Structure 1
Amino acid sequence: MTEVRKTPWHLWVVGVVSLLWNAVGAFDYTMTKLQNADYLAAFTPEQQAWFASFPIWANIGWALGVWGSLLGSALLLARSRHAVTAFLISIVGLAISCIYQFGMHYADLTRMFGSFPLIFTGLIWAILIALFLYARRQAATGVLR
């Protein structure tokens, strides 16, 4: 018989905070892909054109990163061990997106946006890796089923 562990308080904190964090990313992705004029008004026409010019593989990476993280947070709150897989998929998506943005178009990116994308993407990497490791630890200890 499998022992069911009580949900630790920190799972609820991590789950809710990460869900809110990832919902912001999902909102950004959705508004950008739908080309919402009010949302994109904060960007110059050149920056808007740059977002729209992403090749399909870079868009797939961006989508995997965003939706994988959002799903991972939801699965964490549902105490599902599949949160680990969702966060891993998100890491792969973020890597693909970074290859396009920083590996192939770093000069354009920094010319249009300055150093902000590099700093913010570093923060995203740190949070995503922490979420993956947290979910993996919770799965290993039997909190996630």
Structure 2
Amino acid sequence: MSEIRAKTPLWFWILSVIGLLWFAMGAFDYTATQLRLDFYMSSFTEEQLAYFYGFPAWYEATWAISVWGAVAGAVLLLMRKKAASLMFLISLISFVIGAIYSYGFTNAMEMMGGIGSVIFSAVIFLSILGYFWLARWASTRGILR
């Protein structure tokens, strides 16, 4: 029996590629920080480096899950797989846990330059949420299988 599939609109592909590029930048930031790459970390102050290198292991795990979950979600969108929704949801939950810790229990705002860091975190949150909604919508329309 043949399966009826919706035609994938061009805008869906464009948004999926943009999402992959956006979330890949987060993956680069995570990887460069974890590997302590000199060319990347040299732009931070000693205090900021001590802050980054002092993260507890569970926080680093939430950061990794958030970053790589979003990358996986974007790849799954490009593959037109329904599992993209789940990956973005996992990423979103991990991001929220990390943000609550960062802004509620550390001096993240002070270390990262004030309100700008909160705004950037809000942009990341809205990006993950938006791609979660996109994946859910595409699933209900038959674009994802």
- Report the more deviating stretch, 95-104 or 39-48: 95-104
Partner of 1:117: 117
Residues 18-75 of structure 1 deviation map (CA, whole Å, 9 limit, x = unaligned)? 0000010000000000011110011001101101111111111101110000000000
Query: How many angstroms apart in 1 are the aligned matches of 2:29 and 2:40?
Result: 8
Partner of 2:99: 98
Secondary structure of residue in 2 paired with 1:80: coil
Query: How many angstroms apart in 2 are the aligned matches of 1:112 and 1:11?
Result: 37
Verify the 8 A CA contact 1:15 1:77 in the aligned structure 2.
yes
Partner of 1:142: 142
Query: What runs of 5+ residues in structure 2 fail to find an aligned partner?
Result: none
Verify the 8 A CA contact 1:76 1:83 in the aligned structure 2.
yes
TM normalised by structure 2 equals 0.95
Partner of 2:52: 51
Shift of the alpha carbon at 1:111? 2.2
Query: How many angstroms apart in 1 are the aligned matches of 2:123 and 2:8?
Result: 28
Verify the 8 A CA contact 2:51 2:111 in the aligned structure 1.
no
Verify the 8 A CA contact 1:16 1:77 in the aligned structure 2.
yes
Tell me the number of residue pairs that the alignment of Structure 1 and Structure 2 aligns: 143
Q: State percent identity of aligned pairs.
A: 40
Structure 1 residue ranges, 4+ long, deviating more than 6 angstroms after superposition: none
Residues 104-132 of structure 1 deviation map (CA, whole Å, 9 limit, x = unaligned)? 11xx2222222221010011111111110
User: Residue 108 of structure 2 aligns to which amino acid in structure 1?
Assistant: L
Query: How many angstroms apart in 1 are the aligned matches of 2:43 and 2:91?
Result: 26
TM normalised by structure 1 equals 0.95
Query: How many angstroms apart in 1 are the aligned matches of 2:10 and 2:49?
Result: 42
Partner of 1:84: 85
Partner of 2:11: 10
Query: How many angstroms apart in 1 are the aligned matches of 2:50 and 2:69?
Result: 26
Shift of the alpha carbon at 1:4? 1.5
1:6-85 correspondence to structure 2 within 5 Å: 6-85=7-86
Query: What runs of 5+ residues in structure 1 fail to find an aligned partner?
Result: none
Query: How many angstroms apart in 2 are the aligned matches of 1:64 and 1:82?
Result: 15
